[in-house]
Structure 1
Amino acid sequence: MNSSMADYLKVVTSHLHSALVSAEAMSRLQSLTQILPPCSRTVLEVRLGANQPQVDFFTCYPCHTLNLPKNLLTHPIWQGIQNFCLECVDTTSLLHQNVKHIWLEFDLDKPPSQLPIPCIFFNALQETFSDAQALIEAALRIPNYQVSPKQQSNLQLCIDSLPSNARSDQVGAMLSRPNQPLRITVCGLLLQQVADYLRQIGWKDPTNTLSTIILTLSTFLDESDFLLLNLDIGDTIYPRIGLEFYPKQQPRLNRPELLFLNRLVEMDLSTLAKKNALLAWSGYSQKAEHPELWPENLTGGDLLLRSEAISLFQRTINHIKIVYQPGCLLEAKAYLGIIHDWFNVKS
């Protein structure tokens, strides 16, 4: 039984409205996922603006040996990813002590090749969040990637400048992109802290537009909303940043978040059709709906846990990202989560 990520994707395909995922984008997703081993957590990156059909794919793997197809392992980058995971399994290694799991991101601006090259990110264990040296040491082990001394210095600055309530929990390398910057994700920042933090690390906004954008967004969000900041690090802190907003409630959004999406439409950052399709996405998929589509590799777990849990694919709006670069148009993206799990029937 050779299951692939495509077997998981087909369970939820009928819920992916064509306003969000065009036929061409779906074809690229299917071609890619046929190559990849299945995993229980994936995300589709959807651009919400008009005439932006590209959909990218993320998959999250726990730190264990990946069951990769032989053809992928012919490429040095995939060999490096496999070795990275093997080091995470080794209980004596630095990666085992610092890495929780890894994400692979696939850019699908064109049809994928039979040897697609992903970006790779790792999530740090909680003990590592504020340890700049541990994060740098882990980043130095990213496969097929050279972290320059200046990047190390900038990464150190980004972590040392964090307020006490914030931390960096993810580091990665954009292996498939020009210039291949390091990307870090900062979590725990409050909206009103973002501008000051960016100034401290040397990020520049000659137009001073970000403060206005933050003020606009703060109307729809409160201090308890979960915010992540994406930074790209080269020999400088790159001008392009991302602000990620995570819904408090799943699978349905609450009123402030609905107003937030409406505001994106008013700002021409999302089409109305994409917003409506996004709201229709969330929910659950189970075997009884389309038994012929259910992945065969889940059968054993379904039988073992049938009296205790129900096997479901949860469809979520994982988060919304606003991409900002001084002097450029704003961009909004939605991240559609697909999570398989066995949910306790007694809860």
Structure 2
Amino acid sequence: MNGSTLDYLNVVAPYLADELISPRARAYLRTIARNLPCYPIGGLECRLSGEDDRVDLLAYVPRGPIEIPANAREHPVWKSLEEFGREWSDPDSLLSKKVGNLSLEFDLDREPSRILIPGIFLALDRESFFADDGWTKLLDRWPFDSLFPAIDPSLLESNLQRCIRELPRTAWIAHLGTLLSRPARSLRIVIKDIPPDDVPDYLVRIGWSDRERGTGELVSALSRWLDRVTLALDVGETIAPAIGLECRIETPPSQDSRWSEFLDYLVVRGICTPAKQKALLAWPGITRKTDRPDLWPESLRLGDLFAGPNALSFFYRNIYHLKITYQPARPLTAKAYLEFGHRWLDRRWLERATAIANSSPEEGTAIDPASYRQQVLQYYERFTPIILKNIGRTYQAGLLIDEADQRLFERTNVYCASRAGIRPGDRVLDAGCGVCGPSIDIARSIEGVTIDAITLSPLQARSARQFIEESGLSDRIRVHVGDFHELPFEGETFDRVIFLEAAGYSYAPDRLYREVYRVLRPGGWLYLKEPFIKEATLSTLEQKELAEFNRVYVCRAVRASEAVIAIAAAGFEEISSYNSSDVIGAVTARSAMFEEREGKRVLTEFGQYHYRNARCLPIVFGEITARKPFRDSSVT
């Protein structure tokens, strides 16, 4: 990609208020951005206290050959990065398998030097940390001697191994990095999935000292508003006295009052000014090409032309997280990590989503969540025994097109697991699990998979637990009763979340996919296999048959394009939508409507309620996959 990081920065800079960045810091930022290649995603670190006007720059580097600043090609740090990029690009390499993301950090506390020296941070793969010794092999390759010449490497490695050894069971090292531009060299580690209550004891076990014992109180206070608290440590010959608490709220400020409440708390504590609080909350948003054509990067013009008239080209601005730095006997400090980048979306999807959002209640889009939940619950409490009798443990209309296969339900479930990319050792959420027929088939077919399954129906949950126990899988499948819009799990818990003809029961898809995004780990995947409404305009008869379909099954079918819009709005990337009608059909499901009785073909108990002689039902089977970005701002 031609151009520089400054091209992207120019588009979002007008939304960076003077309260967050001084004229001097803004000038430094422009200087350094002008000398960097055009990385597709960037970030800014803004200090929130009144006296500190420093702003540092982050660059998220895509997998592949790493573009080097022209004046730094011979510098040893950049040469090492260039070599890293070549190996990282090789799909068979250790780096490719263990490193999900690379980010660079540039300090701007002084006028930038001619050659920019970055901090280097690797986002590591959680599965590798727990499943094999690949993570340890990666550590063995870290060039301690060259990166930390003034540190005894044996002490550094000893402290690092102790940090790993003393981790609580669920916690793991998610990021590894070093700030090469700073005089005090150490290894930064970022620990995820550490229970907040375990943080103080863990710090004691690794030899970190806090005579004031303020960490427990601070973590407890912060946790009231947060979806996740992540621990950042600097490891050298000792554990550095300053620790970072990365504070994450998954939903944006415009949709979640916790942001204002959390920032109010920081203002009261004196670590954020009211002016910076206001400026920070004003940062999130989007900028379209039509908003600022004068600032639009030349490097995007060809892409915009290629994408065509239906593509919406825009820059987005997010608050990724805030970090509180705690050091005994020192005042607390806080920084905000602001993210920006460019995307394209299909304008037709956006227009359709807008039309749906703006449609009147008479058109059937308004819904009371409590009332709808009760309808769905009553449906499954009534029909689960009948479904088990007439269909079985997998309640899906769309099955692989092969009527002769006696194991068709199992084959379909295993097919979906494969399409979802479920791997040995993954932790999976089966959202809308029914009686866990699919979960049982998946657990049997893929070694080491653990599954949390959630259903709204207590009757389904009781049946599911019985079937799981009979299958000998009680240690690998856990059943929960609840609404999948309000999942009872910590953030970043799952490697995969699957909906097997269940997302159509969502009364608020935007909220549903934000919740799924919250519980997925970075790099984790969402998979849907659903009956979608066909994309074309519906005839009057098609609309009538669709309304009857939704009424009978108490569902709310949507178009695949509408689901994609909601999924993209939640923050997912790498979204793919497939029409699966060539491999998945409803022939077998329709056969469950009838049975032979006394030589006659009659409706089953299930068919007596569900059968409709539909002539043009506008339903097609489709699949959607989407990935939660495997990036996380972890630098200081």
Query: 1:178 matched to which residue of 2?
Result: 183
1:278-333 superposed Cα distances (whole Å, 9 cap, x missing partner): 01111001110111211122223222333554222111111000001111111011
2:198 to 181, 193, 201: 193
2:97 corresponds to 1:97: yes
2:156 corresponds to 1:157: no
Which structure exhibits the higher relative contact order, with contacts defined as CA atoms closer than 8 Å and separated by 6 or more residues? Answer: 1
Could you tell me which amino acid in structure 2 is paired with residue 122 of structure 1?
L
Contact 1:136 1:152 in 2 (8 A): no
Q: CA deviation at 1:173?
A: 1.1
Q: CA deviation at 1:138?
A: 2.6
Structure 2 counterparts to residues 108-127 of structure 1, below 5 A: 108-127=108-127
Query: 1:300 matched to which residue of 2?
Result: 302
Query: 1:48 matched to which residue of 2?
Result: 48
Could you tell me which amino acid in structure 1 is paired with residue 4 of structure 2?
S
Query: 2:82 matched to which residue of 1?
Result: 82
Could you tell me which amino acid in structure 2 is paired with residue 19 of structure 1?
E
Query: 1:63 matched to which residue of 2?
Result: 63
Contact 1:239 1:325 in 2 (8 A): yes
* TM-score, reference length from structure 2: 0.52
Paired residue secondary structure (1:297): helix
Could you tell me which amino acid in structure 1 is paired with residue 115 of structure 2?
L
Could you tell me which amino acid in structure 2 is paired with residue 196 of structure 1?
D
CA distance in 2, matches of 1:208, 1:127: 33
Paired residue secondary structure (1:315): strand
Could you tell me which amino acid in structure 2 is paired with residue 57 of structure 1?
L
CA distance in 2, matches of 1:142, 1:297: 36
Paired residue secondary structure (1:243): strand
Query: 1:290 matched to which residue of 2?
Result: 292
Could you tell me which amino acid in structure 2 is paired with residue 193 of structure 1?
D
Paired residue secondary structure (1:30): helix
CA distance in 1, matches of 2:295, 2:103: 26
- Decide whether aligned partners of structure 1 residues 316 and 8 sit closer, same or farther in structure 2, where only a CA change above 3 A counts: same
Query: 2:325 matched to which residue of 1?
Result: 323
Paired residue secondary structure (2:252): coil
CA distance in 2, matches of 1:154, 1:213: 25
CA distance in 2, matches of 1:116, 1:141: 24
Paired residue secondary structure (2:73): helix
Query: 1:20 matched to which residue of 2?
Result: 20
Larger helix proportion, structure 1 or 2?
2
Contact 2:210 2:328 in 1 (8 A): yes
1:104-162 superposed Cα distances (whole Å, 9 cap, x missing partner): 11111101112011110111123223369533433454565258222222222222322
Deviates more, 1:158-167 or 1:329-338: 158-167
Structure 2 counterparts to residues 32-47 of structure 1, below 5 A: 32-47=32-47
Contact 2:243 2:326 in 1 (8 A): yes
CA distance in 1, matches of 2:269, 2:229: 20
Query: 1:10 matched to which residue of 2?
Result: 10
Q: CA deviation at 1:29?
A: 0.5
Q: Alpha carbon RMSD of aligned pairs, Å? A: 2.0
Paired residue secondary structure (1:326): coil
- Which protein shows a greater Rg? 2
* TM-score, reference length from structure 1: 0.93
Number of residue pairs aligned between Structure 1 and Structure 2 = 344
Deviates more, 1:205-214 or 1:134-143: 134-143
Q: CA deviation at 1:342?
A: 1.7
CA distance in 2, matches of 1:197, 1:255: 31
Contact 1:251 1:315 in 2 (8 A): no
- Decide whether aligned partners of structure 1 residues 130 and 238 sit closer, same or farther in structure 2, where only a CA change above 3 A counts: farther
CA distance in 2, matches of 1:306, 1:273: 41
1:258-286 superposed Cα distances (whole Å, 9 cap, x missing partner): 10100100111001100000011110011
Q: CA deviation at 1:83?
A: 1.1
Paired residue secondary structure (1:14): helix
Q: CA deviation at 1:251?
A: 6.0
CA distance in 1, matches of 2:139, 2:27: 34
- Decide whether aligned partners of structure 1 residues 245 and 343 sit closer, same or farther in structure 2, where only a CA change above 3 A counts: farther
2:171 corresponds to 1:169: no
Deviates more, 1:156-165 or 1:49-58: 156-165
CA distance in 2, matches of 1:36, 1:50: 29
Deviates more, 1:307-316 or 1:323-332: 307-316
CA distance in 2, matches of 1:131, 1:270: 41
CA distance in 1, matches of 2:341, 2:108: 21
CA distance in 2, matches of 1:48, 1:134: 39
Q: Specify every segment of 5 or more residues in structure 2 that has no aligned partner in the other structure, as ranges.
A: 350-564, 566-636
CA distance in 2, matches of 1:325, 1:269: 14
- Decide whether aligned partners of structure 1 residues 216 and 91 sit closer, same or farther in structure 2, where only a CA change above 3 A counts: closer
- Decide whether aligned partners of structure 1 residues 54 and 33 sit closer, same or farther in structure 2, where only a CA change above 3 A counts: same
Query: 1:206 matched to which residue of 2?
Result: 211
CA distance in 1, matches of 2:7, 2:54: 22
CA distance in 1, matches of 2:130, 2:165: 8
Could you tell me which amino acid in structure 1 is paired with residue 235 of structure 2?
I
Query: 2:277 matched to which residue of 1?
Result: 275
Paired residue secondary structure (2:242): strand
CA distance in 2, matches of 1:140, 1:288: 50
- Decide whether aligned partners of structure 1 residues 198 and 296 sit closer, same or farther in structure 2, where only a CA change above 3 A counts: same
Query: 2:235 matched to which residue of 1?
Result: 233
Identity %: 39
1:201-253 superposed Cα distances (whole Å, 9 cap, x missing partner): 222111112122223223334xxx12211010002211111001112113635
